[in-house]
Amino acid sequence: MAHDVRLPSSLKLFADPTRLRIMALLERAELAVGELSRALGLAQSRVSNHLRLLREAGLLSERHAGSSTFLRLSTPRNGHALSGRLWEAVRTDLDSLPEHAADLARMERVLAERRQREGDFFDQVAGEWDEIGVHFASGQARQRVAAHAFAGRHVVADLGCGTGYFARALLGLATRVIAVDRSRGMLDEAARRLGDAPGGAEVELRVGELDALPLEDGEADAVVAGMVLHHLADLRRPVAEMLRVLRPGGNAVVLELEPHRHEWMHAQLGDHHLGLAPQDVVRAFQSNGFEDVVLESVDDQYRPRRADADGPPVDLPLYLVRGTRPRA
């Protein structure tokens, strides 16, 4: 019988309580190394060694954003199947680790601080956001989002509305527009611009998070999320929330950027991801239960201008994903 030489080292990997605590957190959220250390209440030097072992076992995926590296637990592939099987065997029992509840509570605080920092960014730039961040080559994208969201709908929610670029296009189509954003500064700007814009819809502004939307179940006939999902660490909860707040048969429409390499957009536009892979958005829609999920290319480009360098603005391709909440 063949001996698997990795068996002892793989078992050892799962025998360390601190590593199990790390795995339990990184399975739930994507965290930077410093955030993970704070969530565990351990020095970064102690955590780094465990991370090295997890990386070697194929259990860690890493994403670089500016000067930060974000970590998440990944399904091991290519020669790491044993780690994967062992992980599957232990993952359901991690709640029983004595430190788990305290780790989760600290992690929630760390994530809340991050949300606060990210919200502060938009509060600070709210007054000039249209100059900095609302640049599209043809405007087609906005028309397409509005057309898909409308299709005879009455109550449309604009999620991550910013200064109301998409909400403005809905004013002449919907009966009521609910504009949601976590930044009060952006909502103030949206209130000003929507107040001046033509269109008969009633407008309601609500402060809130995309992963806990301030809407009742089934309250919206359609939801749009334009240029906001790339600001979020994780798509699962926000997409589940979109489904929850839609009435059966209602539509969700997402406009997003194709993945790109313009690192400066982290700092200057507050972007968390540099674009999103269209298939990731499609998968998030499908796995949350949307039906008739469609990916469409858009005849428009996002055209931001870099503030710290001369030269022409960059042209970034856009796409649209839409889906319907099942009627049954």
Ligand X SMILES: C[S@@+](CC[C@H](N)C(=O)[O-])C[C@H]1O[C@@H](n2cnc3c(N)ncnc32)[C@H](O)[C@@H]1O
Among 226, 250, 304, 323, binds ligand X (CB under 6 A): 226
Among 161, 173, 276, 281, binds ligand X (CB under 6 A): 161
Q: Confirm or reject binding of residue 241 to ligand X (CB under 6 A).
A: no
Among 228, 242, 252, 298, binds ligand X (CB under 6 A): 228
Q: Confirm or reject binding of residue 256 to ligand X (CB under 6 A).
A: no
Alpha carbons 13 and 7: distance in angstroms, whole number:
10
Piece of the chain touching ligand X by CB under 6 A; list 56-64, 73-81, 159-167, 282-290: 159-167
Residues 6+ positions from 78 with CB-CB distance below 8 Å: 58
Other residues' Cβ atoms within 10 Å of the Cβ of residue 97: 15
SS3 call for 262: coil
Alpha carbons 243 and 219: distance in angstroms, whole number:
11
- Residues in 111-130 at the binding interface with ligand X, rule: CB under 6 A: 122
> Considering the complex, what minimum distance in angstroms separates the CB of residue 186 from ligand X?
4
Piece of the chain touching ligand X by CB under 6 A; list 84-92, 155-163, 287-295, 316-324: 155-163
Judge contact between 255 and 165, C-beta under 8 A.
Answer: no
Residues 6+ positions from 190 with CB-CB distance below 8 Å: 161, 162, 163, 164, 167, 179, 181, 205
Q: Confirm or reject binding of residue 193 to ligand X (CB under 6 A).
A: no
Other residues' Cβ atoms within 10 Å of the Cβ of residue 315: 12
> Considering the complex, what minimum distance in angstroms separates the CB of residue 269 from ligand X?
6
- Residues in 266-305 at the binding interface with ligand X, rule: CB under 6 A: none
Piece of the chain touching ligand X by CB under 6 A; list 80-88, 95-103, 224-232, 289-297: 224-232
Residue 10, CA distances (Å) to 82, 87, 94, 115, 253 in order: 7, 10, 17, 36, 44
119/250 with CB nearer ligand X: 119
Alpha carbons 282 and 95: distance in angstroms, whole number:
31
Distance of CA 152 to the CA centre of its chain: 28
Q: Confirm or reject binding of residue 320 to ligand X (CB under 6 A).
A: no
Q: Confirm or reject binding of residue 134 to ligand X (CB under 6 A).
A: yes
Q: Which residues bind ligand X (CB under 6 A)?
A: 122, 133-134, 160-162, 165-166, 181-183, 186, 209-210, 226-228, 231-232
